[in-house]
Amino acid sequence: MTIQRGVRILAMACAMAPIALRAEVVDSSAAGFTVKQTVTMHAAPQEVYRRIFHIGEWWSSQHTFSGDAHNLSLEEKAGGCFCEKLANGGAVKNMEVVSMAPGKSVVLHGVLGPLQTLAATGSLQILLTPADAGTKVEVTYVVGGYLPAGLNTWAAPVDGVLKEQFTRLKALLEKGDPAAK
């Protein structure tokens, strides 16, 4: 078998395989980017919504300032803080809840991780829609601002981090373990 034929077969197999989570950079420029994740979770919208606010149970410790996701909290109220406790009384405010509709949506404003050191702002929208198999979850994160090298350089890494987090939420809801594959 030639290498080209092997690559074509692998590409066809990947195209036919069920996709657990579709992630993409919708657009990007020097001034900002939009990333979008879409996944169906086998749980009712109300349960997905409830678990979103238990963020320390499913967010990866690798993507925290403290190294421990159990230090994360997300308050279920307008103005609620997506915060992280740090050693010696320190803290990080990642985002703030600006709107929520139980079982339907959550919108947060702010920037995550290393984006906090940039002249940037962001809006993260999580939409929950009933689906045959449970809940269709659409996560859209729009970031804008200034970075000399261009914010577009952050689009793919941010997309990858969000994909990991929502894959973990799906695994928690469906398998009881956010690290389950």
Residue written as tokens 């350089």?
Answer: 153
Nearest to 162 by CA among 143, 145, 177, 147: 143
pLDDT score, position 93: 97
Average pLDDT estimate for 47-52: 98
pLDDT reading at 5 higher than 90: no
Average pLDDT, the chain: 90
Confidence of residue 181 (pLDDT cuts 50, 70, 90): confident
CA angle (13 as vertex; 167, 166 as ends), nearest 5: 5
pLDDT reading at 10 higher than 80: no
pLDDT score, position 20: 58
Say which residue, 14 or 130, is predicted with more confidence: 130
Which amino acid is residue 58, in one-letter code?
W
Q: Is 89 helix (H, G, I), strand (E, B) or coil?
A: helix
pLDDT reading at 11 higher than 50: no
pLDDT reading at 108 higher than 90: yes
Neighbours of 146 (CB within 10 A): 12
Q: Domains, the chain, ranges and CATH?
A: 20-175 (3.30.530.20)
Distances in Å between the alpha carbon of 108 and those of 5, 44, 75?
46, 22, 11
Confidence of residue 23 (pLDDT cuts 50, 70, 90): confident
Average pLDDT estimate for 53-77: 98
pLDDT reading at 18 higher than 70: no
Percent of the chain with pLDDT over 70: 89
Average pLDDT estimate for 139-167: 97
Average pLDDT estimate for 141-169: 97
pLDDT score, position 22: 80
